[in-house]
Structures are given as C-alpha cells and as structure tokens.
Amino acid sequence: MRAAQAFNPRMDRRSFLIAGAAFALAPRARAQGERFAAAAAYSAERLGVSLLIIERGRTVFEDYPPPGGPTQGWELASGTKSFTGVMAAAAALDRLLAWDEPAAETLPEWRSDPRKARITLRDLLSLTSGIGGPIGRPPTYAQAIDAIAPYERGQRFQYGATPFQIFGEIMRRKTGADPLGYLRRRVFEPLNIAPTHWRRGADGMAHMPQGAGFTARDWSVFGRFVIDGGRAGASQLVDPAALDACFVPSRANPGYGLAWWLLRPGLIPPGPGAGIPRDADLAGYTDFVMAAGAGNQRLYLSRERDLIIVRQARFRGLRRAPRWSDADFLRLVVNA
C-alpha cells in the first residue's frame, strides 16, 4: 500500500510515488496510508532500508529505500538475541532444559563458585545473572564461561554479550553440536526461513547476542511464529509456556524479559542513545514487545493488535542520521 504526505518540492521520485497513490484510497485507508508513508519517511531519514507492516495476517505496507530490497538481508545486531529465547523454548519442548535449572548442571566448572553455582538459565537470558561483559565483540564461548560474576544473581540488570555466549555453550553441550544448527533445524527450517548470514567467533561458534542477517520478510515470519505462540500451521515447535516466559519481566528490569524488550514503565534501556522510550513515552504501546539492535533494527510485535512491524537500517553514517525514537516511530504507525 502506498500513501500520501504533504507536498515537498524537494521530495524525491520514490517518496512522490509513495505519496501519490493514497488519493485513490477510501478516506480511512488513506489516513492509514498517510501514517505509514510518514513512518516510512521517518525511517528512511534515519538510514532505513526496509519497512514492513503486517496487520491481522495481511501485508498493509512494504517499502525498501535504496539500497534495500525484499530479497536483501541486513544484519540484525542485537536483534539476534531474541532467537536465544525461542531456542530455549524449543529445547524445553525437547526436554533438554528448564528455565530455572542451574547453569552449573551443564557447566561443572561453575559448581565450586558460590555465585555462579546458583545462576539459572532464566538469570542468563534476563541479563540478571550477575555477569555482564561487553556490548560489542562477543567473547568466545570459553572466555564467556570463564567470566567472573561480580554480583549476586537477580540484583541488577546488566546488558551485555557474555550471558548469551554462555547460553550458546550450554546449548552446544546439551545438543553436542553447534547451537545454530539446532535453531535452524527446530525453528527456521519448519518456518521455511533462513539467515542470509550469521557471524562466528574465533572459536568458530555462532554468535548468540548479535551477527544474524535476515530479510525483512523472513524476520516477519519469525515474528508471526512468536505471536502465534510457537505454532507453525498445525505443528507446535516450542513449549508454549516456555515461550510465554520470554515476555515476563524481571524485578531488576520491568522492560526486559528473556532476550526480548518489553515496552513497559520502568524499562531500563541498554544505554544512552538507544532510542528506546521510558515511562511517559510508553503510553499507548505497552502491548508491544520488541527485538532491537544497533542501528535501530527493530521487530515490533503486538498480539493484542495482531501487528508485526519490521524496520531495518544501514549501520554506517549513524552519526549523521537524526536521532531515532521508538515512541515517535510507533506513534506514526499506530496513531496511539
């Protein structure tokens, strides 16, 4: 669907075409189209390369500013993290793990450490394990396992890559193989989607906190799967209770579940400039959950609205781009 916006003599041809078609629409649809066009313009000004909006199972807007395209994959950055929660839900269905089991059951080298011995898988993916680590450049799995826990579990929210690499090593030991292979077999292949690329570390193992690349359409299919409670057609691919747990906040951060952001009051963002709103700016959007990454890669999901929004962008030139705000963007899309 293409939509209208106010005339701008400096508007490029692509924007003009998006704007012009809205006049052929019925008034209600035209108003919606105008909002979508405004959201597309907001995204494009901030180096956006894809915007895909799916409402109640129907694609209502799709736009790919150059150099984007429907078959072009883009790195999701920390949007990759959300796959770990779903992987754990699949492993729960396979009876490989439970959220509250101690990580030390799989990592015997942790059993003699009084803090690390008490860390659960839930603590790791809620980022409340007491282990932080860098945001960029994930450590190898072995380095992550050796990381020190300076705080007791549950005390604070610490955004970082290390807990996800620890989870990767746990899955490697539980499955006896690369955890990405398990995720492909159990989730991606049944959904008929595939990453365009996935970065690996010096140890050859797939990065769990970042590094996956997907097309907007394939990322939206994954979003549909999550909204549907882990079902693909008649098949239940993950444990539904384990998946629902991904969207329950911790005490340390009301705005973070298990590898997913929750747009809730009290949300503690990953850092300054992340564009993730707080408190008053969240009004009207608390039904949304989100996978989010650097460059403002976004997968927004709302079961209540049956709404999926994918937004992807280039990384380079971010310092020259206007500031991103999830609240401003969602206001354009849903008119809350």
pLDDT, tens only, 269-310: 987 766 676 666 777 899 999 999 999 999 999 999 999 999
Neighbouring-strand partners of residue 213: 75, 197
Residue type, 87: M
Q: Is 289 helix (H, G, I), strand (E, B) or coil?
A: strand
Closest CA to 15 of 1, 2, 29, 25: 2
How confident is the model at residue 208, as a pLDDT? 98
Token pair for 30: 């035209």
Closest CA to 290 of 325, 319, 255, 238: 255
DSSP 210: S
| 219/235 Cα distance (integer angstroms) | 19
The residue ranges of every structural domain in the chain are 46-334
Q: At what angle do helices 82-93 and 162-175 cross, to 10 degrees?
A: 30
How confident is the model at residue 1, as a pLDDT? 37
Give yes or no for residue 49 having a pLDDT over 70.
yes
Residue type, 321: A
Give yes or no for residue 194 having a pLDDT over 60.
yes
Strands across the sheet containing 197-198: 74-75, 212-214, 197-198
How confident is the model at residue 201, as a pLDDT? 96
Give yes or no for residue 9 having a pLDDT over 50.
no
What is the CB neighbour count within 10 angstroms for residue 152?
A: 14
Please name the fold of domain 46-334: Beta-lactamase (3.40.710)
Give yes or no for residue 242 having a pLDDT over 70.
yes
Place of tokens 């971010």: 318
Question: How large is the average pLDDT for residues 170-186?
Answer: 97
Report yes or no: 191 and 223 within 8 Å, Cβ to Cβ: no
Higher per-residue confidence, 1 vs 72 = 72
> In Å, what is the CA distance from 59 to each residue of 108, 220, 221?
48, 10, 12
How confident is the model at residue 137, as a pLDDT? 87
Where does the pLDDT of residue 13 fall: very low under 50, low under 70, confident under 90, or very high at 90 and above? very low
Token pair for 117: 């011995």
Question: How large is the average pLDDT for residues 191-199?
Answer: 98
Place of tokens 């993950």: 238
Question: How large is the average pLDDT for residues 230-247?
Answer: 97
Q: At what angle do helices 27-45 and 326-334 cross, to 10 degrees?
A: 160
Question: How large is the average pLDDT for residues 209-238?
Answer: 97
Place of tokens 């839900």: 89
Where does the pLDDT of residue 315 fall: very low under 50, low under 70, confident under 90, or very high at 90 and above? confident
Residues contacting residue 323 through CB under 8 Å, at least 6 positions apart = 273, 275
What is the CB neighbour count within 10 angstroms for residue 57?
A: 10
Place of tokens 């090593």: 169
What radius of gyration, in Å, describes the C-alpha atoms of the chain?
Answer: 20
Question: How large is the average pLDDT for residues 81-110?
Answer: 98
What is the CB neighbour count within 10 angstroms for residue 25?
A: 17
Closest CA to 144 of 162, 127, 159: 162
Closest CA to 143 of 115, 163, 117: 163
Place of tokens 């984007």: 68
Neighbouring-strand partners of residue 312: 50
How confident is the model at residue 293, as a pLDDT? 94
Give yes or no for residue 318 having a pLDDT over 60.
no
How confident is the model at residue 29, as a pLDDT? 67
Place of tokens 């999901």: 301
| 9/162 Cα distance (integer angstroms) | 49
